[in-house]
């Protein structure tokens, strides 16, 4: 195990330890399980090559937690940057991500489809079905490839 992987695992363990006293609802709000899960997967992927930017982003998340009411926006900013980096560089996504994106895209596809049939009410469920099918398919593909992180 490289020093890079050890650093990532230590930071994730630090975050989990800080969050032990919280209830499940608060842990979900702070996305503790997601950050710990992505850290575990990134540590396995970066065993040979150090990723100092990832470590810096994870360090920011760990240091800004627990956030007081005034610091919530700062913590949310750190989480958003962390999430965007993990999604872009390692292609890791939270569970439900593809379904949520494709459900809304399906509705957007269904509306013009319904207009072409002169029945918008029929187009929306068709689009919903298409979006749900595509999103579920992409999510199962991501799960098989090990890119899906449970919340």
Note the pLDDT tens digit of each residue in 59-107: 888 888 777 788 888 888 999 999 999 999 999 999 999 999 999 999 9
**Most confident stretch, 5-14, 28-37, 71-80, 130-139:** 130-139
Does 1 score more than 60 pLDDT? no
Report residue 50's pLDDT band, with 50, 70 and 90 as the boundaries: confident
Measured CA to CA, the distance from residue 138 to residue 4 in angstroms comes to 31
In a 10 Å sphere around its CB, with 0-12 CB exposed, 13-18 middle and 19+ buried, how is residue 101 labelled? Answer: middle
């Amino acid at each position: 195990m490289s020093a890079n992987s050890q650093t990532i695992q230590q930071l994730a363990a630090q975050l989990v330890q800080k969050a032990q006293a919280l209830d499940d609802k608060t842990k979900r709000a702070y996305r503790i399980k997601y950050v710990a899960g992505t850290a575990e997967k990134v540590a396995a992927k970066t065993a040979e090559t150090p990723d100092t930017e990832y470590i810096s982003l994870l360090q920011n998340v760990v240091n800004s937690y627990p956030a007081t009411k005034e610091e919530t926006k700062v913590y949310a900013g750190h989480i958003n940057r962390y999430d965007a980096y993990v999604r872009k560089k390692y292609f890791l996504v939270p569970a439900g991500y593809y379904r949520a994106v494709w459900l809304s895209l399906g509705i957007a596809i269904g509306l013009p489809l319904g207009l072409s049939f002169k029945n918008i009410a029929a187009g929306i469920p068709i689009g919903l079905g298409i979006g749900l099918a595509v999103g579920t398919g992409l999510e199962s593909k991501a799960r098989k490839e090990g890119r899906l992180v449970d919340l």
